[in-house]
Amino acid sequence: MNIESILQKRLQDAVEQLFGFTPAEGVLQLQQTRKEFEGDLTLVVFPLVKLARRSPADTATLIGEHLRAHAPEVEAFNVVSGFLNITLHDRVWLALLQEAFRDDRYGLKAAAGDEGVVMIEYSSPNTNKPLHLGHIRNNLLGYSLAEIMKGNGRTVVKTNIVNDRGIHICKSMYAWQQWGEGKTPENTGIKGDHLVGDFYVLFDKQYKKEIAELEAGGMAREEAENQAPSMQAARELLRKWEARDPETIALWQRMNGWVYAGFDATYRELGVNFDKIYYESETYLQGKEEVLRGLGEGLFYQREDGSVWADLTAEGLDHKVLLRSDGTSVYMTQDIGTAKMRFDEYPINQMVYVVGNEQNYHFQVLSHLLDKLGYRWGRDLYHFSYGMVELPSGKMKSREGTVVDADDLIAGMVEVARKMGQELGKLEDVTDEEAGKTYKMIALGALKYFILKVDPRKNMTFNPEESIDFNGNTGPFIQYTHARIMSVLRKARENQISLSTTFPPGMTLEAKEKELLKTISEYPGVVTEAAASYSPALLANYCYEIAREFNQFYHDHSILNEPDPDKTNFRLVLSECVVKIMKSGMGMLGIGMPDRM
């Protein structure tokens, strides 16, 4: 039951009958009535006054009177300047509650099946270091966007491209050869991605030391960076890798294997997953073939040194190198190859790349290149460009080892949740095992919600202590509201109260009940808009809003101690509907909802 759609049809009929014209699409825009005014929905009539040939107030009054006479849903109206505030009958809101309660997928769309695949790429880690806080934001945004698209009936493939080749990988390999002393995850007890990351940091320290020594001997900075022995050795490893040297490939596979196992463990802890994982070591060759095809077809050009370029000046961009003079590929080459492999495997209708905003130009270029190469979705690919995430202490640097590790952050969040929960006396009556699971759910809920509630396009600062507060716009506040409602529903079952969606004729609603029903009515639109605008933040903040509205209702009105059994039944149905929506909405954000807190 889409109340706004029904009312828009009534409004269109009113305008046609009163003024003799059909309003253009988008003119009859309804919005929630501001709380300081009486009404449920408000129509802005200014766009109608010219054709109506009436003042804004007269236009609004005539429409309101017509609605009250001919629209059974409308109980009353009032006019404030050029705004028509419409009050709906309580029976309209009760009918909405009945529908929302009975529909297990309220607010979600059925799978269309004929719109093709939405492929969403996220994570995209390098195999020279563990996942960090920046990766967490990426993974949470990508996963939640995928789930929101599913909630809108789209067929979604969640994918990951692992950057498993290149000079940065060879730096860790060289450091392990030089100073590893045979260390493995098994004989050190260190998680594989952490172990490899430690050697990446060790390489950088050695490299800087060598540069300083060469500069002290009179060498220029740029030359010192190129001539440093450790960098020369890493480049030699890369050349051997490109030549498929068996010993180099074996070491590469071994160390990457350690990292993959580490990544998988972090993904499981974070609660994200993928339908398909691609590896740059496999896709870059496809990319080279595509670039050479484009060269042969006259789409690209070759310079005297043998390098291959794309001229994108007609598109307002510049010249972009696609293959170096020695034939080696660049990141763009890999992305083209990955796109080809995906296009061959899936009926992609839309491709979404979840990548930070520092890569905005890269994806402008990629879009035009894929379009030139004949991929129909290339021009319409969507770069989900998000802002950077920092800690209160500032930015992070991988090479210097100052990055906030994802595993450490998750473990720290769980400990904070445990400490705060124990101080507040929560979960004292459950087993240690159940308490541990709940504290972990709260910790991850706090982390995910704090990141996802922010407009993804904005930079943000993540504050662990602030995120886990049980009050305010936080994940634990929403989770606690859910647990509070579940407690009421359990007590109702213990008292053998069965729920019915048959409400007595003429039942009237209290103001807080109506406000909560209005919020329930908004859920389908929020789910739709969150997908259309690529913004999990819309859904996150809606979940906070419905939790806040429920708490205000619960503060003012008793449920189980209400003397009128019909009211008790209605409020229990209302409460269960809120629980369903909260679980659905937070679920699309990847956030679990505990039944007890």
Q: Average pLDDT for residues 532-555, to the nearest whole number? A: 97
- pLDDT of 406 reads 92
Averaged confidence pLDDT in the chain: 93
Q: What are 231-277's pLDDT values in tens digits?
A: 999 999 999 998 999 999 999 999 999 999 999 999 999 999 999 99
Using CA atoms, how far apart are residues 215 and 222, in angstroms rounded to an integer?
A: 10
Using CA atoms, how far apart are residues 365 and 297, in angstroms rounded to an integer?
A: 19
Q: Average pLDDT for residues 382-388, to the nearest whole number? A: 95
- pLDDT of 11 reads 95
Residue 508: is its pLDDT beyond 80? Answer: yes
Same domain membership, residue 561 and residue 415: yes
- pLDDT of 402 reads 52
Distance spanning both ends of the chain, measured CA to CA: 34
Q: Average pLDDT for residues 444-462, to the nearest whole number? A: 95
Q: For residue 594, is it within any domain?
A: no
Same domain membership, residue 415 and residue 550: yes
Q: Average pLDDT for residues 338-342, to the nearest whole number? A: 93
Same domain membership, residue 175 and residue 317: no
- 484: domain range? 408-588
Per DSSP, the three-state class of 158 is strand
Same domain membership, residue 291 and residue 192: no
- pLDDT of 331 reads 87
Same domain membership, residue 307 and residue 352: yes
Please state, in angstroms and as integers, the Cα–Cα distance from residue 217 to each residue in 55, 206, 212, 224, 284, following that order: 85, 17, 9, 10, 40
Looking at the 3D structure of the chain, how many domains does it have? 4
Q: For residue 292, is it within any domain?
A: yes
Same domain membership, residue 270 and residue 198: yes
Q: Average pLDDT for residues 90-110, to the nearest whole number? A: 95
Residue 472 tokens, joined: 């305010």
- pLDDT of 597 reads 83
Which of 377, 404, 431 terminates a domain? The answer is 404
Same domain membership, residue 423 and residue 562: yes
Residue 428: is its pLDDT beyond 90? Answer: no
Same domain membership, residue 200 and residue 296: no
Residues of the chain with pLDDT > 70, as a percent, come to: 97
Q: What are 474-489's pLDDT values in tens digits?
A: 999 999 999 999 999 9
Using CA atoms, how far apart are residues 450 and 471, in angstroms rounded to an integer?
A: 13
Q: Residue 76 — pLDDT band, cuts 50, 70, 90?
A: very high
Kind of pairing, strands 155-162 and 276-279? parallel
Task: Single out the residue of 561, 145, 200 nearest to residue 400, CA to CA.
Answer: 200
Q: For residue 120, is it within any domain?
A: no
Q: Residue 112 — pLDDT band, cuts 50, 70, 90?
A: confident
Per DSSP, the three-state class of 596 is coil
Kind of pairing, strands 389-390 and 460-461? parallel
- pLDDT of 190 reads 97
CATH number, domain of 472, equals: 1.10.730.10
- pLDDT of 86 reads 97
Q: For residue 142, is it within any domain?
A: no
Q: For residue 135, is it within any domain?
A: no
Number of H helices, E strands in the chain: 21, 14
Which of 404, 438, 468 terminates a domain? The answer is 404
Using CA atoms, how far apart are residues 275 and 264, in angstroms rounded to an integer?
A: 13
* pTM of this structure: 0.91
Using CA atoms, how far apart are residues 66 and 268, in angstroms rounded to an integer?
A: 58
Using CA atoms, how far apart are residues 367 and 312, in angstroms rounded to an integer?
A: 11
Q: Average pLDDT for residues 69-83, to the nearest whole number? A: 94
CATH number, domain of 370, equals: 3.40.50.620
Using CA atoms, how far apart are residues 94 and 548, in angstroms rounded to an integer?
A: 21
Q: Average pLDDT for residues 31-39, to the nearest whole number? A: 91
Same domain membership, residue 501 and residue 482: yes
Q: What are 267-306's pLDDT values in tens digits?
A: 999 999 999 999 999 998 899 999 999 999 999 999 999 9
Same domain membership, residue 440 and residue 346: no
Q: Residue 73 — pLDDT band, cuts 50, 70, 90?
A: very high
Q: Is 162 left (phi over 0), alpha (psi -120 to 50) or beta?
A: beta
Return the half-sphere exposure (C-beta side, CA atoms, 13 A cut-off) of residue 194: 13
- pLDDT of 70 reads 95
Give the contacts of 574 (CB within 8 A, at least 6 positions apart): 97, 513, 516, 517, 553
Q: Residue 394 — pLDDT band, cuts 50, 70, 90?
A: low
Beta carbons of 365 and 320 less than 8 angstroms apart: yes
Which of 345, 375, 404 terminates a domain? The answer is 404
Same domain membership, residue 259 and residue 291: no
Kind of pairing, strands 348-356 and 117-121? parallel
| DSSP letter for each residue of 398-424 | TTTT---BHHHHHHHHHHHHHHHHHHT
- pLDDT of 199 reads 97
Give the residue with greater pLDDT, 110 vs 422.
110
Same domain membership, residue 83 and residue 51: yes
Q: For residue 338, is it within any domain?
A: yes
Q: For residue 113, is it within any domain?
A: no
Q: Which residues pair with 389 in a beta bridge?
A: 460
Q: For residue 133, is it within any domain?
A: no
Q: Residue 398 — pLDDT band, cuts 50, 70, 90?
A: very low
Using CA atoms, how far apart are residues 132 and 407, in angstroms rounded to an integer?
A: 8
Using CA atoms, how far apart are residues 539 and 523, in angstroms rounded to an integer?
A: 9
Residue 485 tokens, joined: 């409602």
